[in-house]
Amino acid sequence: MTKHHPRAISRVMPAGSHGLPLVAIVGRPNVGKSTLFNRLARKRIAIVHDEPGVTRDRHYADTSAFGRDYTLIDTGGFDPDSDDPMKSGITRHVKSAIEEADVIVFVSDAEVPLTSADRVAIALLRKSKNPVIYAANKADSPKMDADAFELYRLGVDKVHPISGLHGRGIGELEASIIAALPAKTEPGDDHEGLLPRISIVGKPNAGKSSMMNRILGEDRMIVDSRPGTTRDAIDALVERNGKRYIFVDTAGLRKKGKVTKASDTVETASVGLAVKAMERSSVIVLMCDAAEGVAEQDAKILGLANDRGRGMIIALNKSDLLSKEQIAKAEEAARDKISFAPFAPVVLVSAKTGRGSAELFKKIDAVASAFHARVPTGELNRFFEQVLETRPPPTMGGRAPRLYYITQAETAPPTFVVISSSPDSVHFSYQRFVVNQLRQHFGFEGVPIRVVYRERRRGKKKVAEGHEEA
């Protein structure tokens, strides 16, 4: 009898699976869906640009109106007649969003006549079992309402003339959305704010979206051989072996000189979103092409994560294409390039075959745990006493500083405070030694450790400039 082993299961869970209903915004390209998305989300999340087709992936954001919480989904422009494989992929994503959503908001452009794409979309929406709300965007004044009402010719019951840019008609639209939502249910015990958030970053075309699709187990991210396919930072709630994570696929980060040109404002905004995604994540997975190795720009990306105190993992993608000797050289080269972060683990993966996925999740769990780890004060000071006995701080500038005790002030990242008689006299080499001892004794795999030295005084404490981070 063949023995079957349980397989590791990864599945994407809609953002509304934690109790919030889903509202999908759909429509053809350049009707202002992302502008409306930002208006309803009450913050600038999706990239807004005059170029058609800027939004390509599905994008989620939690928001609320009239005391009711819900999750918005922004989608790419629906263009069923296009032969472009990219736009065909967008159409599949729009259909997937419609299937996921509890309520659908169809957006047309009040400034132009209805197109064949509008008509096909409306015909598709009529087959949906869920409520559909129709909004004619860019109706900036009442005199444009007559143009917005062209939707009535297709048998639509009610049309909302709105302006996502100026906010006209948004309140009435929100009221209709709330009225169409399913009955409110009690939220589950899990909350996304308590789940580890993992951002996948790297240069364009490093395989980030392919790895996301591998993790999610579905073709959710649009994968294309052209660099820069992903422009927004996309969140996905994932469950694997009973554990939940939020994964964020980000736009590829290029060299600064390539993204600061006035003609490339979309690329610049994408980099900003990627950096913001890093700031709100606990773990950063840097995707690199194993054959190309860790480039200077990869090291700069990891440097951004290090500066922000995020947990870090280096994933060498396409490792299935290399020999053992080539893999060994790739790992060694990666270590040399990221010598400033020797604590970051290196994992060999293949988004195409799934190789290394289990090891990647193992490291994600370890780094996420270390990111939030707290050492009890008693245990910490027993450790610190041993450190001082083994190697007391050296004399610097004719002064021998005394170190009294250490405490952990914060987690995420782990931050420690050492009380000293003279913080400015603690040599940087000794500060580095203390960090290394903390890591050696308590682990903190993949996580920067920050140590701040404060002077012990009566009354108000002075924070010294000297501190070490590694």
Is 356 within any annotated ligand binding site? no
Is 334 within any annotated ligand binding site? no
Is 169 within any annotated ligand binding site? no
Is 365 within any annotated ligand binding site? no
Q: Return the ∠ at Cα 325 (arms to 323 and 326), rounded to 5°.
A: 65
In whole angstroms, give the CA distance from residue 344 to residue 293: 16
Is 229 within any annotated ligand binding site? no
Is 75 within any annotated ligand binding site? yes
Is 319 within any annotated ligand binding site? yes
Is 388 within any annotated ligand binding site? no
Is 110 within any annotated ligand binding site? no
Is 204 within any annotated ligand binding site? yes
Is 339 within any annotated ligand binding site? no
B/e letters for 61-78, b = 16+ CB within 10 Å, e = fewer, are bebebeeeebbbbbbbbb
Is 203 within any annotated ligand binding site? yes
Is 208 within any annotated ligand binding site? yes
Is 76 within any annotated ligand binding site? yes
Is 207 within any annotated ligand binding site? yes
Residues 6+ apart with CB under 8 A from 222: 56, 57, 76, 86, 89, 90, 93, 209, 229, 230
Is 29 within any annotated ligand binding site? yes
Is 77 within any annotated ligand binding site? yes
Is 138 within any annotated ligand binding site? yes
Is 96 within any annotated ligand binding site? no
Is 157 within any annotated ligand binding site? no
Is 225 within any annotated ligand binding site? no
Q: List binding-site positions for GTP.
A: 27-34, 74-78, 137-140, 202-209, 249-253, 317-320
Q: List binding-site positions.
A: 27-34, 74-78, 137-140, 202-209, 249-253, 317-320
